[in-house]
Structure formats: structure tokens, C-alpha cells
Amino acid sequence: METSIYVILALLAIFIIGPALFTDRSPIPETSGNVFKITKAAELDALLSSTTNVVVDFYADWCPPCRAIAPVFSKLADSHAVSGQLAFAKVNVDHVKDVAGRYTVTAMPTFVFFEKGKPTPVKAQGVNDGDDRIRGANPKALTAVVLALAKAAKSESEI
């Protein structure tokens, strides 16, 4: 009886603690040449001042949902980036803490939408009215926001 309790406790420990010990912490590979990797606040400031709309992915390498949505973000950047009109950037919250703090990012992934350098709500399906960000890996909402921004960028570039 006593041995079975120890075995059960050991199995519980493996299932509870194991995932934390074995989580992939290697850098999330970037597959798009259209995503800016922000390594300091000045880089983000320069991008925000030179581009009308910017979608910023605040992520962490240890975050499984961040890994899951990274390919979606890259594909959206490849399909919809427009120089000077719509840009995509990634900020690793563990490496650029001051930028994450500036925009009160507390969960990963968080996608913040900027217009003319300021966080700005985007009306799209799956996003709460008045919200300038998506918290969590929600590919449908992210795609809806990017499509709305891409439509605006296309209209702006035709003027």
C-alpha cells in the first residue's frame, strides 16, 4: 500500500512538473522576411513613425500558444505587408521588457495594433469594440484584423 502511494505521487509529479521542465525554450524561428524583429525600443519607435499601421506580436520563446500562432502571423505578413502602410513586428517580452511594459503587455501572445504610432482599436470580427489588442492565440481574430488593416492600406495607397 505504501509503495503504491509513492508510485502515484511520483507519477503526479512527473505529469505536473514535467511539462515545465521540458518545454521548448529555443527561439521561435521566423519564416517571413516581412516581420521586423524588435530588439530595442528605438527600433519599434522608428517603425511606428515610418509606417501608418503596425501589428506587433508580443511573445515569449517558452510560450506554446506563441509557437502555435507564429506561422499564421508570418503568413499574414507575407500576404499583406505594404511598405509605409502596413508592417508586422515581433517583440520578445523576455528580451525587450521595457517595450512590453510601455504597452502593458501581461499575457502572451498579445497582438497590439498601432495607427500613426499609437495603439488603436480595429473593428473586426472576434475583437471587442474599443480594444487595441488581441490577447491569446486567436488566428481568426488576428486574420480579421489584418484583413481590415490591409483593406485600409490598399485604399490609402490608391489615393
Could you list the active site residues?
A: 63, 66
Q: What are φ and ψ of residue 106, in 5° steps?
A: -120, -5
Q: What are φ and ψ of residue 24, in 5° steps?
A: -70, 120
Ordered alpha helix ranges (H), the chain: 2-22, 41-50, 64-80, 97-102, 139-158
Contact (CB, 8 A) for 88 and 99: no
The CA-atom distances, in angstroms, between 30 and each of 64, 78, 159 are 15, 12, 33
Contact (CB, 8 A) for 36 and 70: no
Name 156's Cβ contacts closer than 8 Å, sequence gap at least 6: 52, 85
